[in-house]
Chains A and B, each alone.
Chain A
Amino acid sequence: MSVVTLWLLNILLDTFGQLSFKAAAAEPHPHEGLARWKAMARRPWIWCGIGCYIGEFLVWLAFLSLVPLSEGVLLGSINIVAVMIAGRILFNEKFSPLRTVGILLIAAGVAVVGLG
Chain B
Amino acid sequence: MSMRRFYLIGFLVLVCFDTFAQICFKLTANHAMPPEANLAWVIRVMSSPWVYGAIACYVGAFVSWMTLLRHAPIGPAFAASHLEVISVMALSVVLFGERIDAPQLIGSALIIAGIVCLAVSETNAEHAPT
Contact = CB atoms under 8 A, between A and B. Distances in A.
Interface of A: 1, 58, 60-62, 64-66, 68-74, 77, 80, 84, 96, 98-99, 101-113, 115-116
Given A74-B89, A80-B114, 19 more contacts: A1-B35, A61-B51, A62-B35, A64-B25, A65-B34, A70-B88, A71-B98, A74-B107, A77-B82, A77-B114, A80-B115, A102-B114, A102-B115, A104-B114, A106-B111, A106-B118, A107-B114, A113-B103, A116-B104
Contact of A109 (B28, B96, B114): B114
Contacts of A111: 107
Nearest to A77: B111
Interface residues of B, number: 48
Interface of B is mostly: helix
Contacts of A104: 114
Interface of A is mostly: helix
A109 B117 contact: no
B63 interface: no
A105 B29 contact: no
A70 B32 contact: no
B85 interface: yes
A82 B117 CA distance: 16
Contact of B125 (A61, A80, A96, A101): A96
B64 interface: no
Interface string B89-102: 10011001011111
A13 to B, nearest CB: 15
A10 B33 CA distance: 19
Contacts of B25: 60-61, 64, 69
A70 B103 contact: no
Given A102-B121, A116-B101, A65 B35 contact: yes
